[in-house]
Structure 1
């Protein structure tokens, strides 16, 4: 496999991530991002990789572009899928490749809140869109509630207009 692992830290305000930091030591990459969203906070917005600004890709899907999967979401590999498929093995890093513009999208079938809270803020700060494939909203989290056994099937894409391009392939994941 690809020897990637990461340390992930998300700062939540009223149950919703507003800052994320992820460090992937094997590749010496440090991501961070600020995203106020609908929090009402007056904070800067931006996403960074090793202190350099990053942005999602504006490219249209093609056979020259990548889309990341987790090992439990291989059912999306169907005729007509618009990109090349890759599996990285780390949910947070999977989504951060969207933030950095390296991939057009990524999907995870069973990530836990600690797998993506930091990446959630970074992806959106970079210009991406985050879509829950579950009927329940991701955020805000409720203080005192145990989220240890809850999975959050998730799609992250480089921009909102790609959701209808990829979502038809993801019906089996929800």
Structure 2
């Protein structure tokens, strides 16, 4: 395969290897009570495992692609990325709270973003023994097998959403919704939509590029979409890396969910 598509396949191989190595390092801290600090005025934990995984990812990826930009939850942001067409978007451990608490639902998330959209993405969940990946134009893969979103062949929508939001749905619609228990990692939650365990999910405001980019592509390649409340795809590598409320799902789920969420933009 020639041209850009071939480059993205090469990048996918690179980020899969790097994410696996970062996952192994992080998993070595799992269940070992790693040192924890608090950031964002004490609202967000970060552990020694996050920093160790970030260090190996940054070393491996930027050594291999020194002309790419870098955006990571655990690295100070550099506006230089805004002038670059292509960059790595990384969350060394998505689901740090779960990781610290000994819950297995956490993952290493790595994406290559080109002109604002992900073109290669991988999620490695070592404690669960799972790996998801996709490249633009290809299939979404979980542990070696293709995955796809749910089909419109069942009455109830299985969704992950805040309980208070679900209570605001129209009563007739609410009777057709089954709310899934909380999933600590947002990236992994989107992967669960991609592989059909969930029909859809609602993402509260203030998610970040690094939570979303890799899973966004995996979901897209599985036949689903992650959108804003207008139904539009996300743009990454903006100056502002936070997002407003979002909705993700199979197409049949989005058709039913979006009108409900659009009624409560401040939810």
Q: Write the distance in 2 (CA, Å) between the matches of 1:136 and 1:30.
A: 27
Q: Write the distance in 2 (CA, Å) between the matches of 1:137 and 1:122.
A: 14
Gaps of 5+ in 1: 36-43
More helix by percentage: 2
Q: Write the distance in 1 (CA, Å) between the matches of 2:233 and 2:139.
A: 24
- Equivalent residue, structure 1, for 2:260: 169
Q: Write the distance in 1 (CA, Å) between the matches of 2:244 and 2:213.
A: 11
SS in 2 for 1:59: coil
What do the CA deviations read for 1:131-153 (whole angstroms, capped 9, x no partner)?
Answer: 212698621534xx252xx2342
Q: Write the distance in 2 (CA, Å) between the matches of 1:135 and 1:119.
A: 17
- Report the TM-score when normalising by structure 1: 0.79
Gaps of 5+ in 2: 1-97
Q: CA deviation at 1:66?
A: 1.6
* Count of paired positions: 158
CA-atom RMSD in angstroms: 2.4
Which of these residues, 231, 243, 250, is aligned with residue 158 of structure 1?
250
Q: Write the distance in 1 (CA, Å) between the matches of 2:240 and 2:250.
A: 31
Q: Report whether the alignment pairs 1:122 with 2:122.
A: no
Larger RCO, structure (CA 8 Å, separation 6 or more): 1
Q: Radius of gyration: which is bigger? A: 2
Map 1:1-174; keep pairs closer than 5 Å. Answer: 3-35=104-136, 44-63=137-156, 65-69=157-161, 71=162, 74-77=164-167, 78=169, 79=171, 80-81=173-174, 82-86=176-180, 87-110=182-205, 111-133=207-229, 138-142=234-238, 145-147=239-241, 150-159=242-251, 161-171=252-262, 172-173=264-265
